[in-house]
Amino acid sequence: MGKSAQLLVNTHREAGTPVSDAALSNLIGYNLKRSFNGIYIDLAEVLRPFGLRMITFTILTMLRENPGIRLSNLAAAIDMEKPNMVSVIDELASRAWVTRSADPYDKRARQLHLTEAGAALQGLAYAEVCAHEESFLQHLDGDERALLIALLSKIRQRPTKVENFLSDKKRR
């Protein structure tokens, strides 16, 4: 919860006025955002000792699973604008965690690879992130976790309004 929101809640509590989110609590987006906020704050602390943020951890992990992926394909896979991806890759390359090489099939394109140091860092960070998730979600049993992942994946795979618009535009 942000500092201003926490201050508002504390102000209401101090005044003895209960704070209700009943109108929002049945909205999936609201619950996703509130859940994400809790995970994100904790995860930032887990990644900080490694010098990583959520996006840099995500990219290192994607590169471990997809060695040689093109920058543009990686950006598309994680829904990131290519110019933003370039700046994060520059950061990772400056820390000697990622290298770029020419794509043998298209010399204009660049392939991305983890360095040994990047792979080692990703492995250590990944273990800590898994331990974080285990701790954070300990109140869910295996079936509940599997169901949560399945439902979130289903939501994530749904085309957005923008994707539907672009698809309709191509058909015209």
Give how far Cα 58 sits from Cα of 48, 79, 107, 161, Å: 14, 12, 26, 25
Cα–Cα distance between 75 and 82 in angstroms, integer?
A: 6
For residue 9, what pLDDT is reported? 56
For residue 112, what pLDDT is reported? 97
For residue 27, what pLDDT is reported? 93
pTM for this model (two decimals): 0.78
Tokens coding 171? 């058909």
* pLDDT tens column, 4-24: 555 555 555 666 788 888 899
Angle formed by the axes of helices 54-65 and 28-47, nearest 10°:
80
Are the beta carbons of 64 and 121 closer than 8 angstroms?
A: no
Q: What is the 3-state secondary structure (H, E, C) of 9-42?
A: HHHHHHCCCCCCCHHHHCCHHHHHHHHHHHHHHH
Cα–Cα distance between 22 and 159 in angstroms, integer?
A: 29
In the chain the domains, ranked by start, together with CATH numbers, are 3-166 (1.10.10.10)
Which has more pLDDT, 2 or 136? 136
3-class secondary-structure state, position 172: coil
Tokens coding 158? 């749904």
Are the beta carbons of 98 and 148 closer than 8 angstroms?
A: no
* pLDDT tens column, 98-142: 999 988 888 888 899 999 999 999 999 999 999 999 998 999 999
DSSP 50: G
Which has more pLDDT, 158 or 71? 71
* pLDDT tens column, 33-92: 999 998 899 999 999 999 999 999 999 999 999 999 999 999 999 999 999 999 999 999
